[in-house]
Amino acid sequence: MAMSPPSNRLWWKEPIARVELIWILIAFVWGLVMFFMMIYWHGAGQQNLSNEAYKITPEAFAEKAQAMTAKYTVREEAGFPVVSPPPGSDVYLIARLWQWWPILELKKDQSYRMHLSSMDWQHGFSLQPTNMNLSVHPGYELVTQMTPNASGEFSVVCNEFCGIGHHTMVGKIYVKE
């Protein structure tokens, strides 16, 4: 009976049945396969972004974003500045309740260093319709290399629940030829 203690109190000294040993071996080998596949797909599959993270205060990050916005704003859209920095530059995107700021306008097939940080809570950076997902934390500056390879309008969606206005937290990135 499962509710009563085993008859032999030293159960770990009991021999393991052959079938159970086979299943333990299968689970162990499968675990090793999955572990090494993660390493392989990180490099060969090019699915995971290599990025850097630095401690920063929200105020210091906001200053950097403000400076970039003041320097490269080309127009305004729905009250948000549209920023078009030159290729190869550092691009700053702020996450805060419940917006992504500013709107970015990038050039296709050109590289940028994307800097992300949150001013308040944890947010998720999900670039749609591509498969790019990053966690954005307050107090950290996440830096990743970005090279847009398709032109068009892309949505930045928060995929970490951040409060009552979470569903409205959508930003834009334009990629021009």
One digit per residue, the tens of pLDDT, for the chain of length 177 reads 567 776 777 777 778 889 999 999 999 999 999 999 988 887 777 666 678 999 999 999 999 999 999 999 999 999 999 999 999 999 999 999 899 999 999 999 999 999 999 999 999 999 998 878 899 999 999 999 999 999 999 999 999 999 899 999 999 999 998
Nearest to 104 by CA among 74, 138, 129: 74
Which residues share a beta bridge with 95? 100, 118
pLDDT tens-digit map of 26-37: 999 999 999 999
Same domain, residue pair 161 and 92: yes
Our count of domains for the chain comes to 2
Other Cβ atoms within 10 Å of 156 Cβ, number: 24
In a domain, 4, yes or no: no
In sequence order, the 6+-apart residues with CB closer than 8 A to the CB of 70 are: none
In a domain, 9, yes or no: no
CB 135 within 8 A of CB 66: no
In a domain, 1, yes or no: no
- pLDDT for the residue 48: 61
Nearest to 155 by CA among 142, 174, 168, 136: 174
Same domain, residue pair 128 and 86: yes
Q: Which domain holds residue 91?
A: 51-176
